[in-house]
Structure 1
Amino acid sequence: MSIKTILHLLLIFSLGVIAQKTLAQSIRVEANFTPSSVSNTSRTVYKVVIHGTQQNPQGSLPQVPGLRISNNPQSLRSANFINGVPSVRVELNFQVQPQRTGNFTVPAWKVMIEGKSYQVPPATLQVLDPSQQEKQAHQDLRQAAFLELPFSRSYFFEGETIMTSLTLFIWDRLPVNRIENAPTKIGESFSSNNLGKWTAEKRNVSRNGKIYSTFTWPVALTAAMAGTKEISFTVNLRVRVNSRKNSPFSSPFFNDPFFGFGREESLTVELPRKSIEIKPLPSANRPSDYSGAIGNFRAQSSVDANQIEVGDPVRLNFSIEGKGNFAAIPAPILESNEEFKIGPPAFLFEGNEEIKSEGRQNFEFILTPQKAGNLKITPLNFSYFDPIQEKYSTIIGNEINLFVKPGEKWIEPPNQNESQNSMPSNIAMSTNDLFQTASDPGIWHSSLQPKSIESNYWFWTFQILPLSGTLAFGLLGWKRRNKFNEDFRIKKANLSRKLNENADHRDPTGFFRAFKDLTRMQISKKDKSRNTFAFSSDELITFIKEQKFDKNLIIEIEEMLRLGDGLEFAESSSQELDFKDLRRKVSEILKKLS
């Protein structure tokens, strides 16, 4: 038994199993309009779906005043397995044309299926005028894709970094191909971090009775001036549309059952402008050393060594940890004095460098002690404004003691003359300690004159390399030009052969096509920036006139091209053509063009 026969038997068996299973399956009837809201100039579909059978129902569809319903429904049958359970259904689609605005309901009606009576449930259609339909479309569009930017408080302070998140909601039925770009801030009242790729993505989020996918970006906003300020964001999506009529910019696109199989268009999603009250910082009880820090912080100081020697550097680290506007916090002031020489601080932030709203900011100073003893490093205080408690706070720095040792002192060597004078005169100098130092004479040269650069081997090597490259590129260019000329010659020879063969076989269409191609080849040398092979007859004649050829030659070419076009489009007859004379004329024209 062949494999094909076995597959046929398995298919018949499967269909039999489905048929037997569905006999015991309960029949269920559904009815709805798709879409359920249209304008009086649009059409919709009244759909009746019967689950559990594939037999066509018998019944009479009631007529509804104000709706013209087709009497010839489109019937669709399907059979498949859902979670291993066979499922069959039949679907009837009735085309509906509204005749006026209003709400219309197809009442419940009876159908006969497999000898039994079943009730089709009622279905309601909303018909709006075009202006109402457009408003409804915009409302539906706002629910299909929108942005949310929540704030934790109703007001903020000038210079405060506002941490929030921007979330894009995309309805699962919206056919989005991709998010074109990161959200863009609208307005100059706030500074913001750069929004790149989203940091959080969720599926199956329920909102407004729909299921959405969400994409979230962390946002850090800072207002530089007090007052009521506005903020908004936009983002572009690439969506698929079927036609301009059904595009998301003029109708409720997601009600189109065939939406999503056409071209792409850009859909702009804009956050409605949000007004935020920005208060100025209070001037009462403001510390004298306050430098603009807003948030909730902790601060401490530390050194990498408690005992050093004079001249040895020590690192002093002042760290601020918490939540706030780290990007606006300057380094504390610590100046040199008679005890320490202090260099400028180094900055190191531990946290999200892009947002800088939470983490640890380190300021590292290099201190060099100038004297020995128990020295004290000046305490570093830090003042900030707490926007939650709406008051200023100051962190008193801890005092750091540093024990500095004097280190080793430099001892001056004794004077050589004094040492010699102190030696006894009767002690003779021993010659055994005397020795002669031999020096390496190096390489002997015949002359002290420096050698010229031309006698250097590397000089000629560096001269030959660019020369070789120039020759190589020249050779490649020459070969390329020869190849182009050779291809041109071969193509011209093939067209000439084709022209002669068509003349011998008295084929006027092929003859004049070959002539037109040869003419295009000849004039292509006049202006290589233009593709003459794509010229039509009219464009070819116009181009030849621009090149200022002989007028008689232009007239001859135009006559030949017009004659060829007339024969090709059946405007002229080829019965009385003298191909011998035509071949002679073509040969003369091509010689004059070359």
Structure 2
Amino acid sequence: MVNVRLTIPLVLWVLAASSAAAATIQFEASVDRTRASEGEPIRLTLRITSDEQLGQVTPDFDLKDFHVEGPATSTRMEMRNTNITFTRELTYVLYAKQPGTFTIGPMQLEMDGERYQTKPITLEIVRGTSSAQAGQGENPIFVLARADHERAYVGQQVTVSYDLFYRIQPRNVSFNKLPTFVGFWTEDLFIAQQLDSHQEVRGGVPFNVAPLRRVALFPTSAGTHAVGTLAVSCDIPQQRSRRGGVLDDFFAGDPFFGRSRSVLLQSEELQIEVLPLPEQGRPAEFTGAVGRFQLSVEAQPTQVAAGDPVTLRVLVEGEGNMAAVQPLQVDAAAGVKLYDPKIEEEERITNGVYGGRRLFEYILIPEQGGTLNIPPLRFAYFDPHQARYEVLESDPITIHSEGSAEEEGVSYGLSRRDIEAVGEDIRYIKPDVEVLGAGSMLYSSYWFWTLQGALPLAFFALLVWQRHQRRLQGDVAYARQRRAKGEAGRRLSRADGLLAAGTEAEFYGEVRAAVLEFVADRLNLAAAGLTIEVCAEVLAARQVEAETIAALRDLLTRCDFARFAPAGGPPTDRAAARRLAEEVIAGLEKRI
């Protein structure tokens, strides 16, 4: 009987152990559709199921052919009879970059030393309504890319505008993909912080048009170059079914309770034909400047003593890529020493045209007396509007110098002004020793021994500082953590200025950036990929209090809504958002 009582618990323990050892994991992938048009979202769900509680999971996959948003994470536990099952779902939103047939997967997952993988999924992406057709009313919202020149010379400015056309009100508009400009030198002219629309008729249909980005492109080589696409994601109202109920009709136009769906809007790629600069008629002085420029040259003073400097100011200003304006060739007369110029540059944008000014300051030193002549300075550029080279020429410069360098005592490379004695530059010899007074021995001074004791402390402080600097240079995560609070404080200070100025969208954008970049710096993450859901998941994994995460969600949601809201809220809302941002940052600083 005793043996039976001992055997039964032993058998139950063995069965339980074998059941735990046989814990299984299922890893599956599914999509809500296998055929979609361009700009239509595809939801990819990765499901991990186990009879043991799941920790942090990071699947491995390649989705290079898609724009990816997410993941949104959900976890649930199910109990059937005496069996407990844990399920973790990761949901990604995919937007195809171009039409075609693509295979995603197999997705791979490694847990407890075992490797799992899903079956591959084939997706077919068909071409949707193009932006060119959208102006005829077939599409109520789209992104259109336009260039002011389809053909340009190397170095000529091409202005490309990306605009959002819409006849239905979008919400939560955000950049999803920024364009690339291979073969161009670029200068941003405008980047939207909020939707500021105007009316425009396209194909006989009126649209609200909100500029998204405007960029000046300067081709660097001849040939046909592609201007990359810009993509934005947003929420648009969901089209109601014909059998909609009373509540559907009531909430249809409401921006909060009406149904909406996410879409990706992508512009079409542009092709720019770039012509080489003509070889015929190219002046010897041409160094690559393309545009329209003016030249002014001035020398001051023109009457000096030999050995004294003369400043030659050469100013080139106008429209075009100022980086291509190089120092002009100055042919100094015999007996004049010429030094390399100091360069000052100022950029400006006038009516969407990039330009500016470049000032070159040369130093000329006459080494002998007489009249010294400097030939006219010449500056050559290519005018793309006239398709020809232009050469600007200054007047000749005459400098009158008196005496000679030897007479002025500059045999050591110094002018008269350099050797003037001012104040106490010269300590004269004191012939009366009694005036000097009786000195004391240095080692008997209190300050002498204080300094001796401070030297070791300063040495150790220097070692600590050097170690800190090396770590800042070699450890990116450490450097970002150290600067996170300061960067957030500076952004909130800028937000205070915007709050006082009453610029609502910029204020909320600055507050949102301060909080997101603080989280990204503290956790060494990329700020560009942080969404509200990602922040919440990462902070929850770091054991941050639920109240702090809820406050972060509330703040970011409030900021996103206010940035694109058609009307601003009261000042109390902005002040409350500012206080909440400071509280959220203070709370996160204690836990991450």
TM-score (norm 2): 0.43
Pair member with larger Rg: 1
Instruction: State the structure with bigger RCO (CA 8 A, min sep 6), 1 or 2.
Output: 2
